[in-house]
Structure 1
Amino acid sequence: MNDVTADRRIVFRPAGSRALLLEPVDRTTVDALTDLLRRSHVDGVSDVLPAAQTVLITTDPRTDLRELEQRLHRLLADFEPTSFAAADEADVVHIPVTYSGDDLEPVARMLGISVDDVIVEHTRRLWRCSFVGFAPGFGYLESSESGLAVPRREQSRTAVPAGSVALADGYSAVYPRRSPGGWQLIGHTTVETWNLENPQPALITPGCSVRFVAEDLR
């Protein structure tokens, strides 16, 4: 099994005995592909797990992967990625941020704009969690707009405080707990984004929308 859909936009690969890995030729379609798969409730699919460039489909026990692949081919035959509709503001996760991160001024210099402009751009955008990785509850947030892409730090920090708000490689994120990290720190939130005592430990989950709110402008 190493096939592609009829229009050659999505590569299918086996991932062990109970999963399929879908690789869109255009990685910008990962969100739309994930959304379609989750809404379609395809027989045999246990979970849909997006990453930066792929979507992993895990299956129920005794699911025949070849039959599932055929069902997915039929589902995706007319797949046309479209922009997501604007999120209902009532469903958006709002995260208040104090913009005083150690890397805020270096980020502004890298982008060639003022510190206040960094804050305005970061809060103006609606961010969408494309996938979770690195650590439990660490959501990789993407915006449909460009202009805030900065590289990771040349040297990672050994300990980044929980609640740190950061930028790197076109993504934004909130560190859910204290951990090493190499992202550019632009602020901090007191909102708890990871708590194992909650029914859903992660506040930020794949597919959810996030808006950052400035608590002050320095």
Structure 2
Amino acid sequence: MRALEVGEAALLLEFEDGEETRAFHAELLRRRAAGALPPVREIVPAARTVLLDGVADPGRLAVEAARWEVPPLDPREGPVVEVPVRYDGPDLAEVAALWGVAPGEVGRVHAGVEYRVAFCGFAPGFGYLTGLPERYAVPRRATPRTAVPAGSVALAGPYTGVYPRASPGGWQLIGTTDAVLWDTAREPAALLTPGSRVRFTEEGV
């Protein structure tokens, strides 16, 4: 782990890989819940970093964090969110060809994995979900779409994501969901929050 002070009240922690990042993020949440973490306004994970904002003494926290023994992330840890999906996306046939399966098998493969929200970004409520085996990673589209419908379930590289609102995008679209990904009247507003486990269920099955 590498710790970098950012301004006067923030600390950026850098890690070797996503697994280490997710394990450390979980440890930070555990310590904050137990009152064992100095006051922090926000804990924001990314692919290989975690930003702690609103820290009274970033330097001291960096020294303390370097001494922690952080266990691997328990796959059973974290709340579970179920997302019903219709596997009817316009890129279903293309993804099936890349995977070497029939289009009707894409949903079975995709829904047969439990995912974890590694981090959020791009748009409010958009979570980057890990868990799909490496052999199923697919490239982004060569030409992004100017408009992707809200609720589109999509793949890009090692990630799965669900578009919370209509927006441009270059991910491969394999399905749709009616789940509301972002609702300011809900607490938290995001359905998929970092650390949550996600299970997709194939509608009609």
| Cα gap change, 1:144 to 1:67, in 2 (>3 Å) | same
TM-superposed deviation, 1:70: 1.9
Q: Counterparts in 2 of 1:65-214, with a 5 A limit? A: 65-74=58-67, 76=68, 78-80=69-71, 82-86=72-76, 91-143=79-131, 145-214=133-202
| Cα gap change, 1:127 to 1:27, in 2 (>3 Å) | closer
Out of 44-53 and 148-157, give the one that drifted further: 44-53
Alignment counterpart, residue 57 of structure 2, candidates 49, 61, 64: 64
Partner of 1:34: 25
| Cα gap change, 1:86 to 1:65, in 2 (>3 Å) | closer
Q: Tell me the amino acid that sits aligned with residue 75 of structure 2.
A: A
Equivalent-residue separation in structure 2 for 1:140 and 1:26 (angstroms): 15
Partner deviation per Cα, 1:77-122 (whole Å, 9 max, x = no partner): x334x2423258xx42111111110001001111222223221111
Q: Superposition RMSD on alpha carbons, in Å? A: 1.7
Equivalent-residue separation in structure 1 for 2:189 and 2:18 (angstroms): 28
Paired residues of 1:23 and 1:55 also in contact (CA < 8 A): yes
SS of 1:147's equivalent in the other structure is helix
Paired residues of 2:23 and 2:70 also in contact (CA < 8 A): no
Q: Counterparts in 2 of 1:36-55, with a 5 A limit? A: 36-41=27-32, 42-55=37-50
Number of residue equivalences: 201
What TM-score comes out, normalization by structure 2 length?
A: 0.91
Q: Which runs of 4+ in 1 moved over 3 A?
A: none
Out of 12-21 and 168-177, give the one that drifted further: 12-21
TM-superposed deviation, 1:57: 1.1
| Cα gap change, 1:189 to 1:167, in 2 (>3 Å) | same
Equivalent-residue separation in structure 2 for 1:106 and 1:145 (angstroms): 18
SS of 2:200's equivalent in the other structure is strand
What TM-score comes out, normalization by structure 1 length?
A: 0.86
Equivalent-residue separation in structure 2 for 1:115 and 1:73 (angstroms): 47
TM-superposed deviation, 1:144: 6.3
Paired residues of 1:131 and 1:139 also in contact (CA < 8 A): yes
Paired residues of 2:132 and 2:159 also in contact (CA < 8 A): no
Stretches of structure 2 lacking an aligned partner (at least 5 in a row): none
Stretches of structure 1 lacking an aligned partner (at least 5 in a row): 1-9
Partner deviation per Cα, 1:31-73 (whole Å, 9 max, x = no partner): 101000111121132221110111111134xx12222222222
Equivalent-residue separation in structure 1 for 2:7 and 2:105 (angstroms): 47
Out of 124-133 and 197-206, give the one that drifted further: 197-206
Of all paired residues, the percent bearing the same amino acid is 43
Equivalent-residue separation in structure 2 for 1:155 and 1:16 (angstroms): 38
